[in-house]
Chain A
Amino acid sequence: MRSISRLLPAVFVSAALALVGACLPSANASGEALAQVEAEFRAAIQRLTPATVIVVPQRARGGRAGFSSGVIVSKDGLVLSDGDAGLVFRQREGKQVRVRQDAVNVRVPNPETGAFRTYRARVLFRNTTVDTSLVKILEPPPRGFIHVPPGHSDQLRVGDFALAVGSQTFEDGGTQPALTAGIVASFEHNKAGSKEGRYAYIFISAAVNEGVNGGPLVDLDGRLVGTISTYLTPEEDEPFQFLGKAVPMDRIRAAMVDVPEAQKLFAAKVPAGEPNTPAHALEAVFRAAAKATHPAVVSLVIDRKRPVSGSSPLGQKTIDMPRFRGPVSGILLTQDGHVATSLYNVTNVASLVEPFWEAPDDADVDGGVADVEAAVVHLAGGGSAPAELVGVDTRYGVALFKADPDALREAGGADVLPTLASAPASAFQRGRFVLALGNPFGAKRRPTPLLTMGILSKRHPDTAAAPWRGQWQTDAAGLDSNAGGPVIDIEGRLVGMLTLWLPAKHGRNSGIAFVLSQEELMASARFLMEGGARQRGFLGVEFARGIAPVLQNVIDGSSADDGGLEAGDRILAIDGHPTGTLIDAVTVIRHRTAGETVRVRYQRGDETLETEFTLGTRPEED
């Protein structure tokens, strides 16, 4: 077993990095560094677009022709594509069957005009298990093709930039080139010493679409590190859902080891990269930060009566959203064995977002929490300990678990539990890079977290009428498999916890995820440790029938009464939210918890008045 103590220095590296970083002179933003990064990105794909091709079967003969992207890897027209190159869908006895043809056409873009020219080609080798094929263009032009020679994938690490290119297809049969950029999010590893290289699959944060399968994946130096296989759909047992999946180049090399035409191709030396550039520096920092903080990203296997409901409001409908049902990510928060995760992982939170949604029984927040029977905390470095649910906080979207710290320490084989250093207030700035770390692997250990990267997009005001009030938004991919995990800055310090609120609407990997700041996370955790429970704020009024929020009755001794509100008053705004309608007013109040102060502007007769009071709790019913 890998001992946690061996990993500990790595965690403290991140803390020390923070100190180093603080000592650096704060130069002004000149735009120069960003310009260099962009130049590197542009250079990396310069040769890629003219070498990216389309592979289609020559004759579909009444069937429907499949479509793959591919990449020219030699001057004389060898093309790498996916295992579906030459695929034809046929109807046979009312069933659709997949036939793979070796006679294919390869469409090559003219680097000058961009127009495609079609070449007849032949599939020399195909392996559908690895999802790769080697295609030879039969009559290449004398001057040859612009090409991207095959590179290696074994040197890739989680956090490296990866660029995907291909021709995306649409339902109406149209195609369009597409480039998406992201980072390597995770790998599926081969067994140590495997002839197929280090990795079985590469998972990338960049979105890839239909038709891009078979297209090239390159690193920052423009070296071909793999070909795109597919994007992953939301299956219950798929931790990499919503990510792109690519076949590593070293696995492709191994698959083609006996193909005569590939011998010369793979014998060529792969050029070395240029490690000392700003974009490479970013990669190096992502890699180092993710690795250093990995031990504090735990996996929670939650034993429950029913799985977390996928019910979600979408427009006027309620849909059943497919979810990942495997282990969820958490943050090891204290030396006392507290583990925080997102409330999203414990219950259905949709009704906290949409208070007027008529949720089905299984989507009840409290019911979902009550379903939790037991939990096990798995440390990233190996070892596990049972944990119990301490409590949940609907205000911040936190669920707090606690494991016996001695059991955890014993399981990890170390005296100190790996917790994260906190990011300072200065780290919360729009445009700062953040990394989201996930551990959906449970007892199966990986050497790095599931990593996605983005920037801090904005902070939502504390008074927003939504559960993400006070939280940051990020465009780092938020997924079922990293919700509840830590978000760190480039120095490996805890920025906060990644949270999803309504992915049926905001989508997963859609550029919208929320980050509860570490300060509020800790405040919430302390509140729960002390046995606190959030209660909805209670105004204590009855509204008159109608659209406008006019008070019909104010309950004696209620918070509205304390604030001086009277029957007949019309609420104009609460905490700055204009309340033109009754629904507006109730929505704002429903997103407030007891004990919070609200500012109410109201109209009494011809006067506009304002008052401020603290929301109470609903009185116990007799």
Chain B
Amino acid sequence: MKTERTRRTPRWPIALLLLVGLVVTAAPALADEAAADDDIQRALAQARAVERDLVGVLDEVTRASVTVVHHARLPARLRGQGRSPLFVNGAGSGVLVSYRGTHVVTNAHVVAGASNVEIITRDGRHIPVTVRAKDESRDLAVLTLPDDVGTIPSVTLEQRATTNLREGAWVVATGNPFMLAHDGHGAATLGVFSGARAAPRKGMGSGSNYLLQHDAEINPGNSGGPLWNRRGDLLGINGAIVTRSMRLGGGPSYTGTSISVPVTQVRSFLDRVLAPPAKAPVKAAKVETPTPKRAEAPKRIARQPVARTSASRLGLRVRTSVDAQNRPDGALVIRVARTSSLRASRGRGLQSGDRITRVTRGGKQYPVRSSQDLESALSDLATTQGVSIQYVRGRRNLTWSGSLDAVRRQ
């Protein structure tokens, strides 16, 4: 996948002084018999209702959407008199999230190498924040707010946001494209959800099991900013665009394909970095995907043509296996790719018909009751070196162990 990442942008300074304009000019508003067109009146009433809903959602979501800037200190030899000046070194977007406290979630690449990070909220506050944790493979970072931040708007992570997501759903992106939200008022763009897509095999975003594609306009600077559904639920974190604009004689900008990290990944990332380490991963899996019915990936999405999950990156195709009482009891292997190092040869390894029941890695055990459990268990592969997979073949309990790095090169 050729994906141009959104880039940092240079700066434009800010300030806040809104003048609401008065209408000075008005052409004579002549009533005309032609206006008594019932159809148009009815359509207009309906259109205004849609518009009201949109205005309402945007007012709500832009509260939690923030601008993220980081400053660099000028080298000593370039400093003038007085204090050493700071200048804006990079910028992106973020979202205020309430989950085990209130934090700012953004892309890891927005705060890469950053030390003096600041967020700008819609009410114009500049708030210094610290980078608490980053996950480059998922391209997510969480920023900690200072203790004295006071009341600040935020959103919760809603399970319903992605479970019911279908192609054609309306989405809204807010953020700081090209530093155009230096005043903290996120710029909003409207689009439709286009489907779940394969995560790249390498690099940023590869840690997610799938990504969201949509056509709300995302540009450099939107990175780290939120993607919302029509109810104002957080759907994901905008991170990348696929663009051809350079070939059309310009810089990198939106040309129809925007990519976001799904909110489920945000949640499992926060689970991992904000909770006590011993409990975190298992709990994460449980919170996210207690049953296949409330799967991490919406059903329709999981079936996307090329949605390459963590399992499929290992060359596995699985589906949830059920017992005689129709209860999920593992991940049934449908197919093992010829190139997969998990493939059975000389009696060792997986073959179709095997039922995966448990994944162990890094000394932690992940019970697998559904294909989604397997996804969760494998979802942050990049950070793990070794893995063992327990599975049932016929009546035998077997185990495959190996290095994930070796597997991923296949």
Contacts and interface: CB of A to CB of B under 8 A. Distances in A.
Contact of B80 (A28, A172, A550): A550
A31 B56 contact: yes
A359 B235 CA distance: 43
B15 A575 contact: yes
A431 interface: yes
Contact of A547 (B14, B24, B78): B78
Given A321-B250, A581-B87, A431 B58 contact: yes
Contacts of A509: 255
Given A44-B168, A178-B213, A547-B79, A431 B54 contact: yes
B222 to A, nearest CB: 9
Interface in A108-153: 109, 112-116
Nearest to A241: B248
Contacts of A395: none
Contacts of A262: none
B219 A603 contact: no
A569 B86 CA distance: 18
B192 A41 contact: yes
A465 B19 CA distance: 16
A343 B371 CA distance: 58
A407 B12 CA distance: 45
A206 B190 CA distance: 12
Contacts of A587: 13
A99 interface: no
B217 A511 contact: yes
A9 B57 contact: no
B366 interface: no
A579 B193 CA distance: 41
B1 A27 contact: no
B123 interface: no
A544 to B, nearest CB: 7
A315 B54 contact: no
Contacts of A304: none
Interface residues of A, number: 136
A211 B185 CA distance: 36
A45 B193 CA distance: 11
B41 A37 contact: no
A607 B193 CA distance: 54
Interface string A414-436: 00000111111100111111000
Interface of B, secondary structure class, is loop
B43 A109 contact: no
Nearest to A179: B194
A504 B250 contact: yes
Interface stretch (B148-156, B175-183, B270-278): B175-183
A178 B58 contact: no
Interface string A277-294: 010111011001000000
Given A41-B168, A206-B256, A30 B23 contact: no
A512 B40 contact: no
A112 B314 CA distance: 22
A114 B167 contact: no
A281 B40 CA distance: 8
B45 interface: yes
B362 interface: no
A78 to B, nearest CB: 21
Contact of A473 (B25, B40, B187, B256): B187
Contact of A233 (B19, B26, B58, B248): B248
A455 B54 contact: yes
Interface stretch (A57-65, A195-203, A397-405, A513-521): A513-521
B190 A455 contact: yes
A503 B250 contact: yes
A175 interface: yes
Interface in A292-327: 314-315, 319-322
A546 interface: yes
Contacts of A431: 51, 54-59, 188
Interface string A188-217: 000000000000000000111110000000
Nearest to A317: B251
A550 B37 CA distance: 66
Interface string A40-71: 01111110010000000000000000000000
Taking each of B35, B59, B193, which has the highest tally of chain A beta carbons within 10 Å of its own beta carbon? B35
Interface string A450-473: 000011011111111110001001
Taking each of B54, B182, B213, which has the highest tally of chain A beta carbons within 10 Å of its own beta carbon? B54
B323 interface: no
A21 interface: yes
Nearest to A334: B25
B217 A510 contact: yes
Contacts of B55: 29, 429-432
Interface string B56-94: 111100100000000000100011111001110000000
B74 A13 contact: no
Interface in B26-50: 26-32, 34-35, 37, 39-50
Given A548-B85, A581-B74, A581-B85, A32 B53 contact: yes
B13 A459 contact: no
B254 A511 contact: yes
A167 to B, nearest CB: 8
Contacts of A276: 42
B166 interface: yes
Nearest to B183: A461
Given A455-B54, A578-B13, A176 B197 contact: yes
A373 interface: no
B74 A547 contact: yes
B143 interface: no
Contacts of A285: 40, 43-44, 47
Given A503-B250, A546-B80, A42 B47 contact: no
A481 to B, nearest CB: 15
Interface stretch (B304-312, B342-350, B387-395, B402-410): B304-312
A421 B25 CA distance: 8
Given A177-B304, A319-B249, A570 B215 contact: no
Contacts of B47: 278, 281-282, 284-285, 433, 490
A563 to B, nearest CB: 17
Nearest to A170: B2
A419 B242 contact: no
Interface string A478-496: 0000000000001100000
Contacts of A315: 251
Contacts of B59: 430-431
Nearest to B79: A547
Nearest to A548: B80
Contacts of B195: 49, 177, 179
B59 to A, nearest CB: 7
A430 B62 contact: yes
A6 interface: no
A2 interface: no
B130 interface: no
Contacts of B49: 27, 32-33, 278
A505 B178 contact: yes
B60 to A, nearest CB: 10
Contacts of A425: 20-23
Contact of A45 (B57, B87, B167, B191): B167
Contacts of A33: 46, 49-50, 52-53
Interface of A: 9-10, 12-13, 15-21, 24, 26-35, 37-38, 41-46, 49, 109, 112-116, 163, 168, 170-172, 174-181, 206-210, 233-234, 242, 276, 278, 280-282, 284-285, 288, 314-315, 319-322, 419-425, 428-433, 454-455, 457-466, 470, 473, 475, 490-491, 503-512, 517-520, 522-523, 544, 546-548, 550, 570, 575-582, 584, 587-588, 603
9 contacts: A32-B49, A35-B230, A37-B170, A163-B168, A179-B167, A179-B192, A461-B15, A510-B219, A548-B80
Given A163-B192, A431-B55, 5 more contacts: A30-B53, A31-B53, A174-B2, A580-B87, A588-B13
When A and B form their complex, which 7 residue pairs have the shortest distance between CB atoms, in order from nearest? A511-B217, A207-B256, A576-B15, A548-B80, A577-B13, A507-B253, A546-B80
